Structures are given as C-alpha cells and as structure tokens.
Amino acid sequence: MALSITVRLRDGRYDAAFPPDRVEWPPHPARLFCALVASADYDTGTTEPAGASADDVALRWLESAGPPLVLATPRSEVGQFVREGFVVSNKTKAPDKKNPFGGSTVWPGRTNGESLRRGALPADEHLAFIWPDAQADDATLWRLTRLTRRVPYLGRSTSSAEVLIHDEVVAHRPTWTAYRPTRIGTPRAIDLRVPYPGYLDQLRAAYDDGHRAWEVCRSIAYLADEDATTDEAADETAAAGAVGPYRDLLLWPIERGTVPISGDRLLAVTEMLRRAAISRIADPVPAQASGHGADGRPHVAFVPLLDAGHQHADGHLLGVGVAVPVELAGDDRLAILRGLLGADGEDPIRELRGGTAGLVRLGDPTDLPLTWGLRPDRWTGPPSGGHRWVSVTPVMLDRYPGRRDPAEVLADGFVTAGYPRPTSVTLLERPIVRGAVQMPRRGSLPDKRARRPILHCQVEFPTPVRGPVIAGALRYLGCGMFVPEVSRAGR
Amino acid sequence: MSGLVDRLISAVGADRRESGIGFNAVYQPVGGQGGKIMPPTLPVPDDVKRAAQRDGRSLRPYLFEERLIDGERRDTVVLDQVPSQANRVEEALLAARDTGRLDLPMFELLMKDEGIRLTSLDFPHRYADAYLRDSEVAGVRFDSSEVGQALRLASVNDVRPLYRREPYSLIFGAWDSHRKGRWPKFARLYSSMMFGTEWLTGERRAGRFDPMNITGAIDDKAKAEGNWRFLPEGTKAKGGKLSEIGHGHIAPNASHGGVTVREVRRQGWISCAGLERLRFGDASPEAATLARATLAALALAGDRLAFGRPSLWLRSGCDLTKVSETLFFEVVGGAQEPIEASSAEILAAFVELRDRAASAGIVMEADVIEVAPTKQLAEAIRFALRSAAPDAGE
C-alpha cells in the first residue's frame, strides 16, 4: 500500500515563491501540508486537548510518514515569470511635497505601491507527492480525502488547483522527473520544505502566537533523478579536489525555549561539550580527542554554531558541533563516535553541565535542522569546497607576532591547523559578518593560557578548502571559526 | 431556476463532484481581429529601459507571460489581472445595487460637499480597509462601533460576521494586514483573468499640434494657473517651454503602441473547495451549505453582471467584442458540464438561496450603513482632491 496526493494546476501555473525572491519549483511538500492544515476542522478557541479532532489525527499521521517523493516537471522545463502590478496601500495618507507621485490617482487620500508576484509555468500541469511505503488505515485515508477536497489552491490563491488522494502509487507520467530526498551537500541538490513529526503543533503554535508558517519550516535536500545522472564524475572530481583536516561535523541544536546563550560565551559552552564528550568516551580516551599526546595531528574540535551571516543575526548560539579529523585511526574514530552518539547511535549527548553557562540542553542531532546555521554545509561549505572564508569567532594568534606581520603569523596558523597556505589573509578591524563574536567574554579564556592578540580576518586559499575551517590557538574550542564567503546570489 | 439552485447546493455539499464553476470566453477587438488594443501599462525597470535605448527599441511597458494553452506553452500578453477583474465585478455589483436589481449589504462613506462616495464595493482592502477603520458610525469610531466590533470577530472558524455585512471580502479575498495583531486571511474564491494570444507589438509616434502655432517661451511654469508671462522668441530671458503649460507644439516621439493579438481569452473560476473551507461557527450543516451556495451564486451573479455583456471596455483603447463564452461546472478530472441559465435566473437563484440561508439561521443583510470619515481622513481626502498628484505625462 502507498499514498499519493496528486495536484492538477488548473491554470497550468504555480504562483509561489520561496524565498520571496525566487520561484518555488517543485512545490514543496510542506506547502501541501499547510494547505491541508488550513482545510482541517480546527477551533482556535476550543477547550479540547490539542489534536483531539479526527482531522488532526490524520494530519499527525501524515507528518510522521516521512518526506514524500515529489513527481513533477523537471526544473529545466519550467518557465518562470514575474507579474508586476500597482496596488493601493492600506494607509490613509495624502501625497505630500516629498512624495508627490506616490498618491493613488484613483483613491483620494491613499498611496500606491508596486507589487511583484513570481510564479512557475511547468510543462505539465500535473504533479504528485508520493509516500511509497505509507500504510494509511481507512479512517485516516477518508479524513485525508476530505481535507484534500477542500484545498482550493496551492501557493497563492491565484493558482487554483484540484487536489486528489490515491491509496496507491500513481502512474508515472513521461513528463515528470522524481525529486527524491538525498544527503545534505549532494551536488545539485535543492532544499524543499517538508512536514516533520510535530509540524502540525508547531504550525498551530506559530499561528496562535502571530508568527508565520515559514518560521517553523524545516528543509531537507532533494535531488531530481535527471540531475543525479548528469555530470556526476565532474562533481566527484570537484569534491575530491577540496582539502581540509576534518571529515565529519556533527551538530547539536541547543533546545529552544530557554534564554539564548550569547555568542561571546562560546568557550564556556565548548569546554562543557568537550568535558561531556570525554567523560562518555571509553578509556583509554584517544589522544586526538583529549588533546594530550597528539601533537602535530589535528584534534577533535568542539565548536560553537552561531546565528550569524543574515540580516537579523544576533550572534547567539544556535547549537554546538564536533568536528572529527580525517587523520584518525578506525578504532579511535569509532570510540569517539560512540562516546558522542551512544553505542548504537541512539543515545547522543543531550545535556551540558558544570560550566559557567549553566545547564545547556541539546536537541537531537539527528533532527532535521530548523535553520540554516544548524546545517552542516553552513560550516563545511559546498562539497566542492570554497576558496574564500571569513571569521565569525575571533582568531587567537598561535604566537606573538613580534616584528612580523600578524597576517603572516595567521597564514602560518592555517598551515599548522592542516589547511593549505593561504594566498592572502586580510586583517579586519572588526568582524564583517553580522552576528560574529568580537571577543570571547572577559574571564572566559582558559586559565594558564598565554594571552595573545585576538583578530578577525578574511582568508583566501589557492585551492578549494572543505570546512569546517578553524585556525589559531584555542581552535579546538571554537575560537577562530570561519564560514565560507559566498555572494548573496550564491546563497 | 430551481435546477440551478439545487445544482449550486449540491456543488458545495459534502458529497460534491464539482471542483468549481468555470468561465471561458473568447473576445476580439471591436472592429475585428487585428484591431489594436492597449494592455495595462506598468513601470519598466531601469536596466530594461537602458537596454532598449541602447538597442534603439521602443519600450514595451506591458506584461507578457507564458501560459499553457491547449497543452502548449504560448506567449501571451496580460490584458487584465486577477485583482482588476475582481474590481470590475465589484463595480458591476454596485451598479446593480444602485439601480435596484440586487439587494446587498453595504457600508457607504459620503462627503457630499466634495462629491465623494465610497462603498463596500469600492474599498480597496474590503472589510479591512483603512477608509473604514478611519471612519465613524453614528459618531463612534468604526472599530469601536457595534458593527465594527462584529466584523473584528470574523475568523476562519466563523465567517458569519463577514457573510452578514461584507460577503465581498469572502468572495474576492481580504486580509487585514494593517491593524496591529494577527488577523485571519480570507483567500479569494473567485478569480478571473484576461490575456491575448500570439501578440504583436505596435509602434506609435505621438506629438502635439498647436492650432495657433504659438512659439516662444514662458517665464515660469509654476505660474501655469496664474499670471505667467509670455516671452516672445528672441527675448534674452531664461524661460520655460510653452509645452510645459499646455501650449505650443510637441515634436512627435516614440510612445508605446499597444498590441494586436490573435484572440483575447478570459478564464474565470469560482472554487468549490474554497467555499467548502469556509466555516460558519455553530450554524447547522444545512444552513452552512445554503450560505456557501449563496456566496457561489453571488459570485456567479457578479461575474454575469460584469462579463455577461456583448462587449467589454477594459480601458481607453481596449474595447472588446465577445465571440463566444461557456459557463460550466467543472467536475473531478476536468470535465465540463455547461450551465444554461440567464443572468436574470442567476440573480433570482441568489435571492432564493440567500432567503433560504436566512431562514436556516445565516443572514445576509440588505441595508446600507452610513459611515463618516474621521477628521484626519476627511482632511487627507480634501488635500488629495485639491492637490492631485501631477500627471506623469506621456
């Protein structure tokens, strides 16, 4: 048994954008789910416990059924359009000297504004979302049938749609390609927002609190079949060309609902993470994890994941990460991963205690990342690597520069840390990434450590480098962490 | 007629087969195919302007988009967008109400001295409009008035306040994006759009000929409505052009020249799924179904009033003759079942459904509530009327 939800775009058009400046194609599974939620019988003023209605039971089943396959026109065969129009704004205001042309010529005392609407024009107006292994019982299927019948449109209300449900895998149309979930970082993968267990509650809570649905969305990487087969060799070569001392980056989100931890407390939190990890790794603790007796080899690094690099970034800690080096014996790697995630991978570290940051609760590292800053590729860069990186936590020089140029000392520091020698290192007077930490909090530097200059910089490597990029003294506790520098268009 | 009433009830009922009511129409310019028509104009981005100047092309301030037509991807020129078509239906409903053909609830904002009349069917943001918010009902600020507070109670779970006083917000969509707090969004149930296929762009050179062949200059264009001074040719004074105050010649220059198209199409839609999604609080399921059918009938009636005519004048230079039209119920899978009903029968069906819904407990009013602008709004309106924005010119 399987479940398919088919959509016929009545006007052959899909008016939707995500993010707002990009046409959305294929339609995201989460958008379909939200349309079903909007169709459900739900009383915001109810005193019944949440999820009591039969519609909610069906929606909860669907959100737990995993990300679906999306069958739709390949992106290469989808036209895009931008529709412009002038709309009267909802402000009563007369034009004035400053803005004599802004007044509406039709509605007295009102102003006009331009409005842009983006949309997709696929070669085939049909598409399908398929859960091949889903086993819906009759009651659930009937409820979902009712919900789909009430969906008048997908995307904007101008793209009307007919949505139908089937308890089988619908026949594949020759005009379709299959978009399948894939690993993060897969070349040519695209992010689609998907439902996840708890999504319905998150949506309802967001609605009740006056937040938008996109604020609780989660994306996963999808790859179209047609993209998976093209030029794979070139991508592999590109990925193989990227160098870096770390192989894995494991990420833990910090649980929401607590007071945000300021980014300048990074050392307190990473030290707690380090201690928690070492206490869970079976003896003898590998030298590259403890840092004792592993001179000359890269250590396991405990790093902070900052909210940085976007318009509203405030630099708080979104989560913590552990970077595991490439050069690590198989047994040692296994011992370290077992310590971090539990013997069978089911018991990851969930709490950090005993530091000045108080108790820090961590989410499940296997959860789909809720935000960009918690995705591995935010910190590792694309699989093909990146040439230009910029610091988000300050770099402490490995040694006093004396009469040397600090940029040279920094360049040496990258080599020491296992990266190629940079072609250029540009010192920055202050961090240029929004949300970056200027300095660790006073008093948070470990005792007995020499105090050396702390700087921010941009760096360019001659060959593509795979992240995470961490350099300088205290790098194994997350000082000197970099993010790939990409143009806004490349995001 | 009762056939249509029953069909509308079943089309919004629990066991409906219908996806919605569709309208497909074909038009051509008055005078026959090949006549020039003027699409709506929109601002041209600066980079496109520069590219056109560089290549010596004339600007095309129109909206072109690809569409799937009969399964083929075709280039079309947009002649009327969805919000504009909704406004035309609202105009038609207002005209029908004003001439006594249809009883509908309405808010009316009057400024008699200024000759201003704005109604529910004019307010751009419908029930959530700033004109309403900045008005008073019997001396009480709208939001604090009884009717204003009732409208504020409209929610996705109970649309009865809107159905009662502002059904247009449900049919054409409304969202209160301006008041503080979170307010429900009501997506449009009715949408319609017009576009031309296989377009060719026209060229035009436009100038102005002064019959008196006035030449010379003026001292100051700001004095256009006062005592400007004429400066004959040869006067050694720095002046402005005569054309700036509406006299003298203007040399012909390039101007957007409209389009010719193979045919003009209109596609409209009333969504049964959207109607089914509307909830009516604790009203009985039968009453809710009748109310949904009433809204469908009102949308259908509005469409007929606006577009059931032999020709359609969209704007200056865009007068269209109807060639053919089909109204149909679309059933699952896309099959079309034609609706054979005249406009009068559709209006009668609306009245019957509205009355039956009222008997079942969901009432749509038919009276007018007068609102008066607040002092500030009245001032803004008077100011806008006195100093209308300068014409951007051609």
Tens-digit pLDDT profile for chain B (394 aa)? 468 999 999 999 888 999 999 999 999 999 888 899 999 988 787 877 888 888 877 778 898 888 888 878 889 999 999 999 999 999 999 999 999 999 999 999 999 988 899 999 999 999 999 999 999 999 999 999 999 999 999 988 899 999 999 999 999 999 887 777 778 889 999 999 999 999 998 888 888 888 888 888 888 888 878 888 888 887 766 778 888 888 888 888 878 889 999 999 999 999 999 999 999 999 999 999 999 999 999 999 999 999 999 999 999 999 999 999 999 999 988 899 999 999 999 999 999 999 999 999 999 999 999 999 999 999 888 888 876 544 444 3
Q: Is B383 on the interface with A (CB under 8 A)?
A: yes
Given a cut of 50, is residue A45 above it in pLDDT? no
Cβ contacts of A149 on chain B, cutoff 8 Å = 16, 273, 276
Query: How far is B173 from A450, CA to CA, in rounded Å?
Result: 66
For chain A, the domains span: 3-43+50-80+119-230, 246-484
Residue B393: per-residue pLDDT: 41
Maximum alpha-carbon separation in chain B: 85
**Prior bond of A19 cis (ω within 30°):** yes
Average pLDDT estimate for A105-109: 77
Under 8 Å CB-to-CB from B318, ≥6 apart: which residues?
Answer: B37, B38, B39, B79
**Both structure tokens of B63:** 């909206």
Q: Nearest CA of chain B to the CA of A160: how many Å?
A: 8
Residue given tokens 């003298």 in the structure block: B248
What angle is formed at CA A262 by the lines to CA A257 and CA A268, rounded to 5 degrees? 105
The pLDDT tens digits for A325-336 are 888 877 888 888
Query: What is chain A's mean pLDDT, rounded?
Result: 84
Say what the pLDDT of residue A235 is: 55
Residues contacting residue B176 through CB under 8 Å, at least 6 positions apart: B125, B127, B128, B183, B184
3-state SS assignment for residue B136: strand
Q: Which helix (H) or strand (E) covers residue B75, if one does?
A: strand B72-80
CA distance B385 to chain A (A): 7
Contact A158 B130 (CB under 8 A): no
Determine, for residues B380 and A158 on separate chains, whether the beta-carbon distance falls below 8 Å.
Answer: no
Q: B197: number of CA atoms within 13 Å, CB side?
A: 16
d(CA A364, CA A4): 30
pTM for this predicted structure: 0.71
pLDDT value at residue B308: 93
Q: What is the pLDDT at residue A233?
A: 55
Instruction: Give burial (CB, 10 Å; 0-12/13-18/19+) of A180.
Output: middle
Q: How far is CA B334 from the centre of its chain?
A: 28
Q: Which residue has the higher pLDDT, A476 or B46?
A: A476
Cα distances (angstroms) measured from residue B268 to each of A27, A100, A479, B81, B297: 23, 37, 61, 11, 14
pLDDT-based confidence at A229, cuts 50/70/90? low
In whole angstroms, what is the distance from residue A267 CA to residue A393 CA? 10
* Per-residue pLDDT, B214: 84
Residue type, B3: G
- Is B271 within 8 Å of A114 when comparing Cβ atoms? no
Per-residue confidence (pLDDT) for residue A102, from 0 to 100: 62
| Angstrom distance (rounded) from CA B378 to CA A430 | 52
- Give the pLDDT confidence of B350-382 residue by residue, as tens digits: 999 999 999 999 999 999 999 999 999 998 888
pLDDT of residue B388: 54
The pLDDT of A318-324, averaged and rounded, is: 91
* pLDDT, tens digit (0-9, with 9 covering 90-100), for A182-214: 876 677 788 899 999 999 999 988 888 878 888
Check CB contact under 8 Å for A87 and B178.
no
Integer CA distances (angstroms), A464 to A301, A415, A421, B52, in order: 21, 14, 12, 41
Cβ pair B381:A109 closer than 8 A: yes
Among A102, A149, A162, the residue with its CB nearest the CB of B276 is A149
DSSP-assigned beta bridge partners for residue A455:
A395
At residue A411, φ and ψ (nearest 5 deg) are -60, -40
Q: Is residue A232's pLDDT more than 70?
A: no
CB contacts of A162 in chain B (<8 Å) are 19, 273, 332, 334
- Per-residue confidence at A52, pLDDT binned at 50, 70, 90? low
With 80 as the cut, is the pLDDT of residue A408 above it?
yes
Tell me what pLDDT residue A92 has. Answer: 76
In whole angstroms, what is the distance from residue A361 CA to residue A257 CA?
A: 10
Number of Cβ within 10 Å of residue A476's Cβ equals 21
3-state secondary structure of A125: coil
Mark yes or no for CB contact B65/A109 under 8 Å: no
Confidence band, pLDDT 50/70/90 cuts, at residue A489: very low
- Minimal C-alpha gap between B187 and chain A (Å): 6
Interval B99-132: pLDDT, tens: 999 999 999 999 998 889 999 999 999 999 999 9
Lowest mean pLDDT segment, chosen from A117-126, A178-187, A396-405, B36-45? A178-187
* Alpha-carbon span B41 to B257, nearest angstrom: 11
Which value does ipTM take for this structure? 0.77
- Could you tell me if B181 lies within 8 Å of chain A, comparing CB atoms? yes
Contact A39 B20 (CB under 8 A): no
pLDDT in tens, B75-105: 999 999 999 999 999 999 999 999 999 999 9
Nearest to B42 among A45, A84, A157 (CB): A84
- A interface test, pick of B48, B157, B193 with most A CB neighbours within 10 Å: B157
